[in-house]
Amino acid sequence: MTIRFDGKTAIITGAGRGLGRSHALALANLGANVVVNDLGADVDGTGGSSDAANEVVAEIKAAGGNAIANGSSVTDQAGVDNLVKQSLDAFGQIDILINNAGILRDRTFHKVSWEDFYAVLDVHLLGTIRVTHAVWPLMREQKYGRVIVTSSQNGTYGNFGQSAYATAKMGVIGFMNALRIEGGRNNLHINTLVPVATSRMTEGTIIATEEDAKILTPEAVAQGALFLVSEDAPNGAILNAGGGSYSRSYVPETKGVYLGDSELTPDAVAANWDAISEDSHLEVLEDGPAQFTKFLEMARGTRK
Ligand code: NAI
């Protein structure tokens, strides 16, 4: 199996620099028509210029690939509609969407303004939903679509000063979980990418040295992204990718304890906390309703 994207069209949001640029170059290199979306914003989401997107398009064309630039913000519905129209006018179809655009406005929760909190949700969470909502019906109609949502380890595991960012980045995973189930029957696959890479967004963070930066290249992450939008992509997976290492995250739960034979009180839950938390037999449930079934089976004593 050799992964290629000939004849496929991919939209990548926030592709003017960093990870998005790297995804765009890699997809074009393997034959995809690429729509390079980027507002050209500063890291906090302010400002804007089409230069970044245009430069990536020029780079792709210079290497013999097909690409167009789009300067819409993922927070602007009219701009997103135009992104879809421009993609269809240029290439006739949309097969792949990589939701990648992002901003940072880090503040501890007691200091963050409502405006900053909302701005982060608007780009990462609502922006992802807005663009996906615009292409999903087209993909459904053609019975083919591959979508990535970009999350973060600071969402899946948490980080100081990033309540808005963490909320948005876990939000996209919930969004994926639902669309995984809705889209599967029409050959729409949606997956989550959790990258680790040097970019302007990670300047001054844990990536401390030049040596670290050389290890954590966006190109290493792009290989994982390309697998997640390939024909044989999984559906509903969370792939962590960085520096040439790849791992998968799950949302497991403990086996659990049935306490219904005794009186149900907060003290009973407290007294059994260690058993409830016992994590040597973690379970990954298929979907939300599976947990209803699990607890009914535990109460009835029928769970295997
Ligand atoms: P970056 O700052 O280099 O690139 C983000 C791009 O998004 C910029 O080109 C910016 O102009 C664009 N953008 C911002 N707001 C936009 C909007 N409203 N509409 C369209 N484009 C917009 O950052 P980086 O590191 O490449 O991040 C890419 C994605 O990966 C983000 O979603 C980020 O949260 C996520 N991520 C990155 C990690 C890393 O290690 N670099 C770690 C975890 C997640």
CA-proximal residue: ligand 1, atom 44 (nearest): 152
Instruction: Say how many Å lie between the CA of residue 142 and the centre of ligand 1.
Output: 29
Express each pLDDT in 201-237 by its tens digit.
887 676 667 888 889 999 999 999 999 999 999 999 9
Q: Looking at the CA of residue 207, tell me the nearest atom of ligand 1.
A: 40
Indicate if the pLDDT at residue 66 is higher than 70.
yes
Active-site hit among 165, 246, 250, 258: 165
In tens, the pLDDT along 177-202 reads 999 999 999 999 999 999 999 988 88
Distance CA 202, CA 180 (A): 30
0.85 exceeded by pTM: yes
165 is catalytic: yes
Q: How confident is the model at residue 18 (pLDDT cuts 50, 70, 90)?
A: very high
Q: How many CA atoms, within 13 angstroms, populate the side-chain half-sphere of residue 186? A: 18
Residue among 201, 212, 217 whose CB has most ligand 1 atoms within 8 A, to mutate: 201
